[in-house]
Amino acid sequence: MTQTRRWVLYDDGGGRFGPMTDLRCFAEARTGAMTALERMTGAWGPPLASIVPEDLADLAAERGSTEPMGTLGEGPVLLVNARWRGSLPDTLPEPGERWCDADGATAMATLEASDAAEFVSRRVVPAGLRRIDDPPVRLYHRPWEVLEDLPARLVEDLEAMRRADGVRVATPAAPDAELVGSHPVDLDPHATLGRGVVLDATDGPIRIAAGASVGHLSVLRGPIWIGPGSIVADRTQIKSNVAIGPACKVGGEIGATIFQGHANKVHDGHLGDSWIGEWVNVGAGTANSNLLNTYGEISMRLEPDGPSERSGRTALGCIVGDHVKFAILVRIMTGSSFGTGSMVATVDPPRSLGRFRWLTDRGDATYRLDRFLVTMTAAQARRGVVAGPAYLERLRRLHDAGRGG
C-alpha cells in the first residue's frame, strides 16, 4: 500500500553509467522490474517536484517523467536521491538532517518547505543541515553495482507489484504450463503461455505482465519479470534474475540481465549479466561472455577514452546503450560497453565502443546522423512510437559532441 509522503526527487547526475544515462536520467533507468522513479512513487506517491540533470530536463519532461516545480506548501519535505542503493528505508532523516553517501553526495534529507524550494530552484544544500555520514546509506555509482543488486531489487519489486494488485496465478489459469517451486507466480489475465512452458519458482517469484506472451516449451526460472507486451520466443531459456521491460522480443538463453524496453534479442545466443538499453537489436547467433577463463575479477572501460575500472565482480557481461545494433554471430567479450547509436557488424568488436560508431570488418567510422535517424524512425514505427523534439535534439547533441569518436 502506498504511504503518501511529501517528497522531492533529486537526480543529481552523479556517478558514471556510460551510455545508460545518455537518453534518460538515472531515475528513469530500470534497475530491477521498476525504475527508481516507479519504485519511489509506488512507495510514497508522486513527488512534489523533480530535480534532474539540466541536459536531460527537456527529455524527461517530454516523457512526463518529472514533476514541474510548484508550491511545496508548508512543513517538512523529504529529498531523495534517485541513485539510492538498497531497499527504501523504514526510518527517514529527521527534520534538518542530511544523510550522505561515502563521497559526500546527498542521499536523503528532510528539509522545511522553504529550504526545499531553495534546493529545487538553486540546487544548493541549505546551510545548517546536520550531516549524517554513518547511516546505512549507499548510492549507485557504476553499472555493475546495479547488476550486483539486481536479485534483491527484483524480488522486492515483484513483491511490491503483487501487493499493489493481488494477481496470483493458479494452476487452472495456465493449464498447459508446469509450475514448480513455492514462490509466487503472477500471471496477468491478459498474458498468454504456450504449451509445455515451465515456470520454475524454486529460487524466486515470476511475474508476467499484461499483453506478454511466452512461447511453447520455454523455461523460466525466477526471479523473473516479463514486462507488458513483451514476447518470449519458443524454446527460450530464461535463467534467474532477469527483468525484461515493455515491448521486448527475446529468445535463446538469457540470465541476470535487465532490458530497459523495446529491444530485440529473439534469436539463439547467450546473453548474461548485462544491462541493455532501448531499441537494441541483437542478431542471430550473437552471444556474450560473462566470465573470464581465469575466473578472475572483471574490469570494464565505460568510455573508450576512460579508465579501466575494477568491478569487484567475476560475472559481468556487457553494457549496451540505446539503439545499438549487432549483426549476426558477433562475439561480445567479457566486460564490454557499447555506446548509444552504434552499429556492430564485425565478429570481434572492441570491449569499449563509442557512440554512433559504424563498425565493420573494414574498420570504424562515424554513423552519419541522417542515416541513423532513418533507421531509428523505421524501428520505432514498427512499435507505434514517434520520437519527440526533445529526444531528437538530445540525439543530435550526443552525435555532435563526437563522444564516440
| For residues 342-349, average pLDDT | 97
Residues 185 and 243 in one domain: yes
Q: Where is the domain boundary, 141, 172, 196? A: 141
CATH number at residue 360: 2.160.10.10
Q: Are residues 189 and 112 in the same domain?
A: no
Strands 97-100 and 106-112: antiparallel
* Shared-domain flag, residues 151 and 257: yes
Q: Give the three cell numbers for residue 384.
A: 507505434
Do 114 and 161 lie in one domain? The reply is no
- Does 387 or 74 have the greater pLDDT score? 387
* Three-point CA angle 286, 287, 290, nearest 5°: 160
d(CA 317, CA 75): 46
Q: Could you say which of 87, 113, 141 is where a domain stops?
A: 141
pLDDT per residue as tens digits for the range 194-239: 999 999 999 999 999 999 999 999 999 999 999 999 999 999 999 9
pTM of the model: 0.94
pLDDT category at 65 given cuts 50, 70, 90 is: confident
The residue among 69 and 354 whose pLDDT is bigger is 354
User: How many residues belong to the chain?
Assistant: 405
Is the link from the previous residue into 223 a cis peptide, with omega within 30 of 0? Answer: yes
Together in a domain, 19 and 80: yes
Which band of pLDDT confidence, cut at 50, 70 and 90, is reported for residue 335?
Answer: very high
Domain span including residue 363: 145-401
Q: Is residue 243 within 8 Å of 258, Cβ to Cβ?
A: yes
Assigned domain for 300 exists: yes
Residue 225, C-alpha cell as written in the block: 519479470
Residues 107 and 159 grouped into a single domain: no
Residues 249 and 387 placed together within one structural domain of the fold = yes
pLDDT 10s digits, 31-53: 999 999 999 999 999 998 888 99
Q: What is the reported pLDDT for 49?
A: 87
Per the domain annotation, does 2 fall within a domain?
Answer: no
Cell readout for 206 is: 515470476
pLDDT at 208: 95
Write 192-196 long-range contacts (CB < 8 A, 24+): 194/218, 194/234
Inside any domain, residue 304: yes
* Domain presence at residue 1: no
Task: Supply 228's cell numbers.
Answer: 507488458
Please check whether residue 158 lies inside any domain of the structure.
yes
- Residue tagged 526510518 (cell numbers): 91
Number of domains making up the chain: 2
Strands (E) located in 239-354:
242-244, 249-250, 253-259, 264-265, 270-276, 281-282, 287-288, 299-300, 309-310, 318-320, 325-326, 331-332, 336-338, 343-345, 352-353
Nearest to 262 by CA among 276, 279, 237, 242: 279
User: Each residue of 250-301: pLDDT tens digit?
Assistant: 999 999 999 999 999 999 999 999 999 999 999 999 999 999 999 999 999 9
Instruction: Please check whether residues 262 and 382 belong to one and the same domain.
Output: yes
Q: Given pLDDT bands bounded at 50, 70 and 90, which one contains residue 75?
A: confident
Question: Residue 103 contacts by C-beta under 8 Å, 6 or more apart in sequence?
Answer: 14, 139, 141
Predicted pLDDT at 51: 87
Q: Is residue 168 in some structural domain?
A: yes
State percent of the chain over pLDDT 70.
Answer: 94
Indicate whether 299 and 368 sit together in one domain. yes
Q: 119 and 241: one domain?
A: no
Band of residue 114 on the pLDDT scale cut at 50, 70, 90: confident
CA 149, CA 161: separation in Å to the nearest integer?
Answer: 18
Averaged pLDDT score across all residues of the chain: 92
At residue 21, the pLDDT reads 97
Q: Residue 172: its pLDDT value, please?
A: 45
Considering 92, 117, 141, which residue would you say is the last residue of a domain? Answer: 141
Does position 354 have pLDDT exceeding 50, yes or no?
yes
The per-type count for the chain, helices as H runs and strands as E runs, is 6, 33
> Is residue 296 domain-shared with residue 161, that is, in the same domain?
yes
- In a shared domain, residues 279 and 316: yes
* pLDDT tier for residue 169 given thresholds of 50, 70 and 90: low
320: which strand partners? 276, 338
Concatenating the DSSP letter of every residue in 51-80 gives: E--HHHHHHHHHHT-S-------SSEEEEE
Cα-based distances in Å from 400 to 131, 277, 322, 340, 393:
41, 21, 17, 13, 10
* Over residues 96-103, mean pLDDT: 90
